[in-house]
């Protein structure tokens, strides 16, 4: 059975706006059920462990999907989400692949978290695929290869775009813009229209642009294993 580690944010404050943030529900639920339906074993982790904060906006009616409604009716899945492992307690050796859902939270905590940085570096060094969607590719900003170069340098990637952040009105709130940061690290940043599904694969690195890309990114990750 393929074992996937899903890493969620523990950050719940949207800068100094007084508003809450966290992980985006669709970006968790859509991949979670793609993996479960494929027969994969799913483990959840977050920097602080326990229940990660949900961005309340992501569960508003306009943003609900079949997968988020499936999650809301799934007592076992909700119980599992309430008991995520602490990120510093997990080992890459125990998993075949890693998936990072987004939401705004990751640009505050996972992007700077030493355990997350090491997890990604060791996953890549072990030749295991990894996928990150929406704001989660921002967690790559400090990740380097064995020769000390930025992991994304020269790679094709995507993530939440400047245009999408501007649409959300949060350009001046987030600590950095995912698109700008990845470009600054030498990545080739690809994108499509705002909030359209889009996934980029470069070797073992899979990135998705936005919430609508989270399910397709999980499908792409699964296909990498099916092609073996």
| Residues with catalytic roles | 134-135, 165
DSSP structure class, residue 197: -
| 3-state class (DSSP) for residue 133 | strand
Residue 19: which of 47, 49, 53 has the closest Cα? 53
CA dihedral of 95, 97, 103, 109, whole degrees rounded to 10? 60
Tell me how far apart the alpha carbons of residues 86 and 185 are, in angstroms, rounded to a whole number. 28
Cα 113 to Cα 117, 128, 163, 173, 180: the distances in Å are 6, 20, 26, 20, 20
């Amino acid at each position: 059975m393929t074992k996937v580690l899903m890493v969620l944010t523990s950050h719940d404050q949207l800068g100094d706006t007084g508003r809450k943030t966290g992980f985006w529900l669709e970006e968790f639920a859509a991949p979670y059920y793609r993996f479960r339906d494929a027969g994969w074993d799913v483990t959840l982790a977050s920097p602080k462990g326990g229940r990660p904060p949900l961005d309340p906006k992501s569960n508003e009616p306009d943003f609900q999907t079949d997968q988020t409604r499936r999650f809301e009716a799934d007592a076992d899945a909700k119980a599992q989400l309430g008991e995520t492992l602490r990120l510093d307690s997990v080992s890459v050796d125990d998993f075949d692949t890693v998936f990072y859902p987004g939401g705004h939270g990751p640009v505050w905590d996972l992007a700077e978290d030493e355990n997350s940085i090491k997890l990604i570096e060791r996953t890549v060094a072990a030749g295991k695929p990894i996928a990150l969607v929406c704001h989660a590719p921002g967690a790559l900003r400090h990740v380097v290869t064995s020769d000390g170069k930025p992991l994304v340098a020269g790679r094709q990637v995507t993530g939440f775009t400047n245009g999408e952040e501007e649409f959300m009105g949060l350009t001046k709130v987030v600590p950095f813009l995912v698109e700008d940061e990845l470009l600054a690290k030498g990545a080739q940043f690809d994108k499509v229209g705002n909030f359209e599904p889009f996934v980029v694969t470069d070797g073992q690195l899979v990135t998705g642009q936005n919430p609508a890309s989270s399910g397709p990114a999980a499908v792409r990750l699964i296909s990498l294993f099916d092609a073996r």
